[in-house]
Amino acid sequence: MKKVTNIIFAGLGGQGVLKASDILAEILFTLDYDVKKSEVHGMSQRGGSVSSEIRFGAEVFSPMIPHGETDYLVVLEPTQVEVNISKLREGGILITPADLPLDKLSNPKAANTMFLGALSKHLTEIPEERFIEVIKRFLPEKVHEVNIEAFKLGRG
């Protein structure tokens, strides 16, 4: 892993962008990484753009990702790809709805955990069990099963 890893989650209000980034930040924090996070809510309550940036590594000085240095861009809404693609570094990984079997979700509200599953395949230094543990901690028990199922579908 390089010194600092940069991840952006982007989508629309109500898609769980902030919840997914909160879960990831907590996972990283529990693994003793230095973690910085920032959010842009905009008109999120009215379905507007939402994004969250996470930076982690041995030592991180700023929560803001320099333009064009995003390692992983996770976009939950197709219309947000064009808005955010310039933030991705050359050789960075883009994860979009087209990359996932969203039609296999038993509950569409669990799509954000499916995207976490897809991202987790690339973050090989983080055990799958840690993702599941923190997902369960962050979500009500009644939705654990559907979210773990979505996470595993995302992992492939």
Structure tokens at 129: 């069990």
Higher pLDDT: 75 or 1? It is 75
Which pTM does this prediction carry? 0.94
**For residue range 75-123, what is the model confidence (pLDDT) as tens digits?**
999 999 999 999 999 999 999 999 999 999 999 999 999 999 999 999 9
pLDDT of residue 55 exceeding 90: yes
Mind spelling out the 3-state secondary structure of 85-143?
HHHEEEEEEEECHHHCCHHHCCCHHHHHHHHHHHHHCCCCCCCHHHHHHHHHHHCCHHH
Report the CATH number of the 4-155 domain.
Answer: 3.40.920.10
Cα 59-63-66 angle, rounded to 5 deg: 95
Packed helices 111-120 and 128-138: angle between N→C axes, nearest 10 degrees: 160
SS3 6: strand
Domain spans of the chain? Answer: 4-155
Cα 48-56-61 angle, rounded to 5 deg: 95
By C-alpha distance, which of 79, 78, 73 is closest to 95?
73
Pairing of strands 49-57, 70-75: unpaired
Structure tokens at 12: 């629309």
